[in-house]
Structure 1
Amino acid sequence: MRPPEVSSDADALADRVIEHVGRDIVLGLPLGLGKANHFANALYRRAEADRSIRLRIFTALTLQPPSGSSEIEKRFMGPLAERLYAGVPRLVYARPMRAGTLPPNIEVNEFFFLAGKYLSSPHAQQTYISANYTHAVGYLLERGVNVVGQMVAREGEGESARYSISGNTDVTLDILPTIRARRAAGERLALVGEVNNELPFMPGAAELAPEEFDFILESGDYPLFVTPKPPVSLADYAIGLHAASLVPDGGTLQIGIGSIGDALTHALILRHREPEVFRAALEALGPTPAGRERHCDPFREGLYAASEMFVDGFLDLFEAGILKRPAEDGAVLHAGFFLGPQSFYDRLKALPEAERAKLSMREISFVNDLYGGEEQKRRDRRDARFVNNAMMATLLGAVVSDQLEDGRVVSGVGGQYNFVAQAFALKGARSIMALRASRMAKGAPRSNIVWTYGHATVPRHLKDVVITEYGIAELKGRSDRDTVAAMLAITDSRFQDGLVKRARKAGKIERDFRISSAENTPQRIVSALSPFRQAGHLPRFPLGTDFTEAEQTLLPALSLLKRQQGAWLELARTFREGWRAGETSPAEKAALDRMGLARPKSLKETVLAALVLGALRRD
């Protein structure tokens, strides 16, 4: 194997790659963070200018800074994007893909979307490929991938340089054996590494010999894409507390992204450090039903993690001394990719290499499947709790996580099905689906537990555990009647009667069935957990935040305004609250100033200022 060709010019490198592999290019880009952005942009520009080049891009989770849709959202997101994403190269294919204006010789297929980003993009919806994460590699190989563009970290210089594919081992490590075989057969392929030393250097399987790369782009270091932490609501904490009580010491853990995952992480740390507070919070939510497991003690043996995404919460668990049970290879975590806030990247880089080696990045087939080394995986993944987020669930136990009823894709299946399958295959494992019982839409509450839905990500024959803020539904192996009853017990009370009627009509529950659960209302959750928030045990940002104090003040208010979109009566009430507000507090003044609305200069800004102030008062 020869050393890679090195270039500091992305455009020149794009020309060199076209010369090397030909004018029909199938470009594989890793999911999320690990894309070689400068190289991909240069290749796109070459194909855009020269229609004799055919460029097909296969990827997932194309990251784009938030922009906002309404005037109020744009005023909030604009300064935030300038602060957090200055210097992060934008992928130039993203905008024409969304608009449906890609040149005829360029095609982009994604198997996972940035959540909700492409709901209104017919082109993106039409070119989306529905795939389990573990199947994406096969689809890419079937398309004849001949170029892979990967961001890499480097340590050392010259002949002593070491390269790591870092936070995106997921697909690349699975493709690599085929690349090697095709090279050996005489095919011309290009594995391109774009060096960015802002990327944490992850050792172990993520480290590749320089000779594995055909080309190296020295494009200069640039900021990594970050994902600001959302605030954690009391409803999220209720879900997190329930889920944390199902995790046995010495077990295995997977956590999903978002505020529910953050709530679970914090609840586990609370259980470890202050078990009496953890127990009290659980008791405030309600007594444990007879026969249900509840784990409330600190972690002595600790946990091992097998999770397709290395969320930053795992690093918190590692630092708290909870994530410490080693697998047979010595790692306490195996994951396929990572993405998070800047503090997450900084903390990873600051770890001694021996500690980073315990957080092992592996191919997605290793993490998401039991195939290959199955005996060892079964020993490592004992008492697993695979916790995934969902959008909705049916009363009969099906789960909706990726797509709307009309077929529009919100995000993607990813590895959710893989972990459900593992939960059924592993002794002592459980698949846990976490979702909020209700949501607000156009100013009105909507149930996230429904009778039927036109799409399911996980079918009801794979039902196991479902958690909402109102409790835990144990569904595995239960009859349809008992499944319905268990799901009703964790449904928002405002929707229980209507769902009971649907179940009775379908003959799935007895005519004289009555709800026996406690009052399932948002007010009850607030009443139960507010004392713990006030005492500092359940903070809004348990894992830190990139938001300023003014932005933290604004977030709940802007969330309220978003829920009221289209609900004109509710918006009118909010406006009236702000219009009649009178003297503003220092925090309200700072929030209005952050929005550029402290001194309105027009009628439009006066209305916007009243809406924001009213939302601050009504939240």
Structure 2
Amino acid sequence: MWSQGNAEPLTLLEQLIDQRRAFGQIDVFLALSFSNTMRQEYCDVFHYEGLGGLGANSRLSRQGVLEVHPMQLGQFCNDLHDGRFPVDVAFVQLAGPDRDGNYSAGFDHTYTRDLVSRARVVIAEVNTNAPVLPGASTIRPDELDAVVHTDRPVCPAPVAVSDEVDRKIAAHVAELVPDRATLEVGIGALPSCVLEALAGHRDLGIHTGMITRPMLGLIGSGAVTNAFKPVDTGYSAGSILAFDQPQRLDPYPLRLRPSRETLHFTALAGQPSMVAINTAVEIDLSGQVNAEYVPEGYVGAVGGLLDFVRGARASDGGRSIFAIHSRTSRGRSRIVSALAGGVVTVPRSDANWVVTEWGAVDLAHASLSERARRLISIAHPDDREALSKAWHDRN
């Protein structure tokens, strides 16, 4: 297993690929990938397992070579920390060293500290382009079995281009976010639009999984002060930096923590007006959410989604918001009578706000028939009659 996202240790992975036939079969566990390093043709040695089709790993799922573990990220990180999920060899990308000779987890604090603590063998790629930021703890040189020093660009997160539909949805979402709210926002074109739409808000806080470049833009606008957060007051908190680093991060008060801390229920429920803003593949008429699967394979994972949804709903004044296009790029409705493959990422008992370009509806405390009516009202107009008929026939 290795660190993820921008912190993929690309030099180590390339060497592993080149030398793979010297080892025999290797079980590889994948999290989030921004690169195309792992490929189907390496299955001559690699056996791929992972949390889902996160980033470039969706291609492996479509090719039928990725076995998925449908686990919540918070629980997975707890299991890794406690030794219930054994890892034999860990590759980690680190930053540093500092003046004391210690290293930092750099871009990815999700589970890097626990990988170093638990793996039998730890090989580090220390990249001069990885940032030294405050994290859970430092990593001492004597915790590493081997170190490779590199100076190469990190693998950047993909950049998605927003459109007019994104902007309409973002405007609806912004109306549901009060001043002084604490935000969790995902990654992609629509979440980026939402962050831009919040620039006029005041005293927002950030307690999220991924800190993205649009999030830095919101911080820079003055809308984010983190002044009313009871923990990490004055700091935007997350677990991973989901961008490369062409600029200095000094102006941004950031604090990175392991996911087992940022996703802990009490940490989320204790935030004032915690608002979780996420996207989904599709939502059925009862409020069930599929955020990970399409008929061709996995394009996402459970990840921290359910942790954030439940933590936000338990927060004083908090809410969960799913923001989706009413239709896919191929013209298929994202509000459906039945989820693809029957995959439920978030159960209907956790349903709250759903937003499309046609409006916003609250499903909490609504009966099944009322939920269907509300969701159909924000579906694409050309899909509403078919959805109504499907609901009538089903009942």
Q: How much does 1:421 deviate?
A: 1.8
Q: Deviations over 1:224-245 (max 9, x none)?
A: 1123422211110111111111
Is residue 307 of structure 1 aligned with residue 200 of structure 2?
Answer: no
Q: How does 1:191-270 map to 2 (within 5 A)?
A: 191-205=122-136, 207-218=138-149, 220-269=150-199
SS of 2:375's equivalent? Answer: helix
Q: 2:305 aligns with which of 416, 419, 437?
A: 416
* Contact residue 34 and residue 158 of structure 2 kept, 8 A: no
- What amino acid maps onto 1:167 in structure 2? F
SS at 2:59 equivalent: coil
Q: Displacement, 1:477? A: 1.4
Counterpart of 1:346? 246
Contact 1:303 1:323 in 2 (8 A): yes
Aligned to 1:14: none
- Output the amino acid matched with 1:260: L
Deviates most, 163-172 or 42-51 = 42-51
Q: Is the 8 A contact 2:356 2:378 kept in 1?
A: yes
CA–CA distance in structure 2, aligned partners of residues 149 and 465 of structure 1: 40
Which range moves more in the overlay, 498-507 or 315-324?
498-507
Q: What are the residue-to-residue correspondences of 1:8-407 with 2, within 5 Å?
A: 28-51=1-24, 55-64=26-35, 91=37, 94-95=38-39, 98-99=40-41, 101-103=43-45, 106-113=46-53, 114=55, 116-124=58-66, 127-137=67-77, 141-156=83-98, 160-175=100-115, 178=118, 189-205=120-136, 207-218=138-149, 220-269=150-199, 272=200, 298-299=201-202, 302-326=203-227, 327=229, 328-340=231-243, 342=244, 345-347=245-247, 350-352=248-250, 355-356=251-252, 358-370=253-265, 374=266, 378-379=269-270, 381-405=271-295
What CA distance in whole angstroms lies between the structure 1 residues aligned with 2:117 and 2:272?
Answer: 29
Matched residues in 2 for 1:100 and 1:367: separation? 34
| Letter matched to residue 62 of structure 1 | S
Aligned residues of 1:59 and 1:111 also touching (Cα < 8 A): yes
Structure 2 equivalent of residue 531 of structure 1: none
Fraction of identical pairs, as percent: 23
Q: Which amino acid aligns with 1:101?
A: C
**Normalised TM-score (structure 2):** 0.90
1:448 aligns with 2:349: no
CA distance in 2, matches of 1:463, 1:109: 30
Q: Which residue identity lines up with residue 345 of structure 2 in the other structure?
A: T
CA RMSD between the two structures: 2.3
Larger fraction in helix: 1
How much has 1:162 moved relative to structure 2? 4.0
In 1, the alpha carbon distance for the partners of 2:16 and 2:386 equals 55
CA contact (8 A) 1:164 1:207 kept: yes
Alpha carbons 2:113, 2:139 under 8 Å: kept: no
- In the alignment, structure 2 segments of 5+ residues that lack a partner are none
> Which of 1 and 2 has greater Rg?
1
**Structure 2 counterpart of 1:278:** none
**TM-superposed deviation, 1:368:** 1.4
Cα offset, 1:378, TM superposition: 4.2
* Structure 1 contact 323–332 (Cα < 8 Å) conserved: no
Cα distance, 1:263 vs structure 2: 0.8
SS at match of 2:320: strand
Supply the AA of the counterpart residue of 2:353: V
Give 1:315's aligned amino acid. Answer: L
Say yes or no: does 1:506 pair with 2:391: no
Verify the 8 A CA contact 1:111 1:136 in the aligned structure 2: no
The total of aligned residue pairs comes to: 387
